[in-house]
Chains A and B, each alone.
Chain A
Amino acid sequence: MKLSLTVNGATHEVDVEPETPLLWVLRDTIGLTGTKYGCGIAQCGACTVHIDGQPAKACNVNAAAAVGRKITTIEGLSPDSSHPVQKAWIDLTVPQCGYCQSGQIMAAAALLARTPSPTDSQIDEAMAGNLCRCGTYIQIREAIHAAAKMGA
């Protein structure tokens, strides 16, 4: 079935089953591989993107439901890694293996968009859905505070 998706400001005509998770449409059909697969059941947050500005787990949204909405992936967060969250992640060398970090960054950017100076407990709450097997949680929290100071 032909569907039209708006990703990072561009329109993509894709031919997929309507129930195909957005995650796989982004990765395999459109070729935006920055959004990661970690569990497929909305447990890990590796696939976090923004839909109409809200964080969403792309493995848990089907392609048909994403039609007509504004989808932003890690590739579209900024043209040159200049989003304050990305800058803070670089300054504090947050990533280890890096695999979870697209999702972490998208979740953090969404948090800061609605709560510009979050407390630790607000960070905990917003980030609890994003697993990091390398255990970079402490650095992520520090980097969110740093990004808040830059004015994300």
Chain B
Amino acid sequence: MTTTLSRRFFLTTAVVAGGGLLLGFNIPTEAEAALAPVQGEGWKPPVGGVEINAWLTIDPQGVVTIRIPHTEMGQGGMTSVAQLVAEELNVPWRNVRAVFADANRNVTRGNEYQDMSTGGSNLVRNRHPHIMQAGASARERLREAAAKRWGVSRADVKAEQGMLSAGGKSGSYGEFASDAAAIKLAEEPKIKKYGDWWLLGKDVPRMDVAVKVNGSAVYPIDVRVPGMAYAAVRACPVPGGKVKSFDAAAIKDRPGVIAVIELKQTKDKLANTDMRSAVAVVADSFYRAKVALDLLPIEWDFGPGAQNSYAKMDSAARALMGQEGKHAEEVRGDPRPILAAGGKTVTGDYSRPYETHVPMSPPAAVADVKPDRIDVWSFTQNVQATLLLAAEQAGRNPKDVFVHGTFQGGAFGNGNAVDITRQAVELSKQVGRPVKVIWSREEDTAQARSRPPIWARFEAVLGDDGLPKAMISRAVAESMQPAYADRGLANMPYTIPHYRYERHVVPTNIPVGPNRAPGNNNNGFTIEQFADELALAGGWDPLEWRLKMTEGNERWQRVLLKLKEVSGFTTKLPKGTGMGIAVIESHGATVGACATVEVSRRGALSIEKILIVSNTGYVINPRAATEQVKGCVAWELSHALYGGLDVRDGRVQNTNFDSYKIMRMPDMPTVESVFAMSQDNWWGGFGETAGPPTPPAVANAIFFATGKRIRSTPILKHDLKWA
């Protein structure tokens, strides 16, 4: 039986409007300036300014333009980088602009931006030192320039809010920018510490909002280059399979068709961005290309992958769960003899299926391969990696390749995991004109590197105090990237005296990859429901049990105590209502969730509220962090409630939103976000960390409401009715 989610009204909590400060957005770098006319409305000419270092320019009016090396895909990375630089530079936020940094410059001038990749919730937590350093360095050079001109020592020059001053003298950064650009510091300044910040920790509105409310923000799918052709592509729908033959003659006379091209797979075992075997139709419009491709007779050699199905993987995995795992880690002691001796034993099996990204923009890429240079706009989370990929595909020197920053219409980890850049470069090379490749939604869902499934069995023996004294976690992973299964299990935080983690692998042909916390989202659901099972079997309150089992773990204690303080968590609600909690550590952050649900006797589930308590060490922009928290909750509830890729005959069958469902507005619960920061010299991320504790909190709440333990997702496939 299918349970339906009832429609909910939610109460809007007060919103921090922050004055709606609107910030400008300008055309990126010199390389892009030449191409501005093709990028549509909304891209303004570059601000004239003096380059202080690779990261920023200052114009005579004191407007600071910060170059953003990272991808803006909705996570707010553009604003974060600018905020980190502006903190050190000490300029009024209204004077700050952002442009995308130039990957070609990074490649040809010795990695000035260091790592341009964007993912793993890494940007603020791991890159803030060198980003802040760029701002601090620029500030000190401005101070030195003023000191020289005024004949005072640098120590006497103040740099504040875009102004330099010493004694009675003062001047704007703009007036000293040219002098500062020529200064070499004997020693680089140290970056500021928490407590000395004036801008970090404050609500800053996103810089990219204005261009995202009038259609002017440019995504790869929007790029238009003169003379451009369009391509629709189809890779073998069974990953690992290859094109056998196709009948180009059948479509060559269709309107607009320019070429039918086979894209050849060059490697047997495919890494992330290697070219897969595919056929492309190039035409004078995307729609004509797509229609022709749909009509093109293609014969595939599906290969052995065609035998694969989720049902087969599922039964193989369930058989393996009863056997000792091949890959094992003795985390503490050895639980096997204790479990063999018996006693009060608790066992729980859990599983989650494949999920995929479905970024709102299907992947797209434009390449213009000319004799002397290549220009690329692409679906990516790392413009530098994309540059190197394009160079390799075309057989050119990377210094002649220019990858232009655009916004990304979501990416969620898939941005560096597919071969669309290679496809665009290869097609442009072959047809001798710029080509835009667009993946249909169906192609995206079939070819994304999805999130792996997981199966997990837990077995534990309780001591006299009702707490577990020995436990084995046994995961069954898929074969493409089995290590995802370890996350949250190999390093499980609860201090059980004897603990062992084991792993099995079942074979598959479906590629997997990063997916907004793939491993932690899976194991959050498994381990945090079993934690409740353990607590209840031992007669403990789930929240008190977690506090007891993480004694001395400051990060966890802080989150759990905050949950206790603000959630009103109780196991004593009338039947049909329930609260559930869960805590997961991932991407450097410890995040707790408390879900409140109602389940009608007939089994209709309604999620009233999700409370999220985040400990990321520090938060630089509470408003943007809160937005990420809400987004992560929607992300993971989509999978937990409706998700699951339907893998049969070696391919994904549910390839569009009619069959692969994600959350819609009527189903979105109230989300409250609370911070409980350790502020103790470690940094965690916000981009994906509120997702993992959300489904287990909901499932634990459903247990209290109905007495039913939810052992797999999607939750709405379970019969939740109770009597």
Contact = CB atoms under 8 A, between A and B. Distances in A.
Interface of A: 16-17, 20-21, 24, 27-29, 31-41, 43-44, 46, 73-75, 77-78, 81, 86-87, 89-102, 105, 120-121, 123-125, 127-142, 145
Contacts of B410: 97, 99, 133-134
10 contacts: A16-B287, A21-B287, A36-B361, A39-B657, A75-B41, A97-B408, A98-B212, A125-B666, A127-B665, A135-B633
B287 A24 contact: yes
B24 interface: no
B361 A136 contact: no
B631 A99 contact: no
A141 B633 CA distance: 16
Nearest to B18: A93
A96 to B, nearest CB: 4
A16 B210 CA distance: 33
Interface string B630-668: 111111000000000000000000001110001111101
B74 A120 contact: no
Contact of B210 (A75, A78, A81): A81
Contacts of A105: 213
Contacts of A46: 360
Given A128-B664, A128-B666, A28 B362 contact: no
B301 to A, nearest CB: 28
Contact of A93 (B40, B209, B440): B209
Nearest to A121: B9
A28 B210 contact: no
Given A33-B215, A37-B362, A135-B632, 8 more contacts: A20-B287, A34-B216, A40-B656, A86-B213, A96-B75, A134-B634, A138-B630, A142-B15
A124 B412 CA distance: 26
B214 A141 contact: no
Contacts of A142: 12, 15
Contacts of B76: 96
A17 to B, nearest CB: 7
Contact of A124 (B7, B288, B361, B630): B7
Interface string B609-620: 000000000000
A98 B287 contact: no
Interface in B176-207: 205-206
Nearest to A143: B15
A39 B359 contact: no
B293 interface: no
Nearest to B73: A97
Contacts of B213: 81, 86, 89-90, 94-95, 101, 105
Nearest to B216: A34
Nearest to A79: B214
B74 A141 contact: no
B671 interface: yes
A102 B215 contact: yes
Given A29-B285, A128-B664, A93 B206 contact: yes
A90 B22 contact: yes
B630 A136 contact: yes
A98 B409 contact: yes
B408 A139 contact: no
Nearest to A103: B360
B286 A91 contact: no
Contact of A40 (B15, B441, B663): B441
A32 B215 contact: yes
Interface string B22-35: 10000000000000
Given A24-B286, A38-B361, A131 B657 contact: yes
Contacts of A29: 285
Given A36-B361, A96-B75, A128-B665, A75 B409 contact: no
Q: Which are the 3 A-B pairs with shortest beta-carbon distances? A: A34-B215, A135-B634, A97-B74
A20 B407 CA distance: 27
A89 B664 CA distance: 19
A120 B288 CA distance: 41
Contacts of B361: 36-38, 97, 99
A139 B206 CA distance: 14
Contact of A137 (B41, B222, B407, B634): B634
Contacts of A87: 20
Contacts of B74: 95-98, 134
B589 interface: no
Interface string B356-367: 001111100000
Interface hub of A91, A97, A102 (most chain B Cβ within 10 A): A97
B360 A97 contact: yes
B627 interface: yes
A134 B12 contact: no
B215 A73 contact: yes
Interface hub of A28, A94, A132, A133 (most chain B Cβ within 10 A): A133
A38 B211 CA distance: 19
Given A74-B215, A98-B217, A44 B440 contact: no
B158 interface: no
Contacts of A91: 17, 20
B665 A38 contact: no
Contacts of A92: 15, 17
B214 A131 contact: no
Interface in B406-430: 407-410, 412
Contacts of A99: 219, 359-361, 409-410
A71 to B, nearest CB: 14
A127 to B, nearest CB: 5
Nearest to B637: A135
Nearest to B40: A33
Interface hub of B20, B440, B631 (most chain A Cβ within 10 A): B631
A11 B236 CA distance: 42
B221 interface: yes
Interface hub of A21, A137, A140 (most chain B Cβ within 10 A): A137
A36 B409 contact: yes
Interface hub of A34, A73, A75, A128 (most chain B Cβ within 10 A): A34
Interface hub of A20, A75, A96, A127 (most chain B Cβ within 10 A): A96
A100 B407 CA distance: 13
B665 A123 contact: yes
B528 interface: no
Contact of B221 (A37, A44, A121): A37
B224 interface: yes
Given A75-B41, A133-B359, A133-B410, A96 B627 contact: yes
A70 B395 CA distance: 49
Contacts of B10: 120, 138, 141
A17 B206 CA distance: 41
B360 A44 contact: yes
B608 interface: no
Given A28-B286, A43-B657, A37 B215 contact: no
B493 interface: no
Contacts of A130: 665
A134 B211 CA distance: 17
A95 B441 CA distance: 21
Nearest to A33: B222
Nearest to B41: A75
A128 B663 CA distance: 9
Given A89-B209, A92-B17, A137 B75 contact: no
Interface string B295-312: 000000000000000000
B662 A133 contact: yes
B141 interface: no
B432 interface: no
B362 A135 contact: no
Given A44-B360, A96-B76, A135-B634, A145 B12 contact: yes
Contacts of B15: 92, 142
A57 B287 CA distance: 16
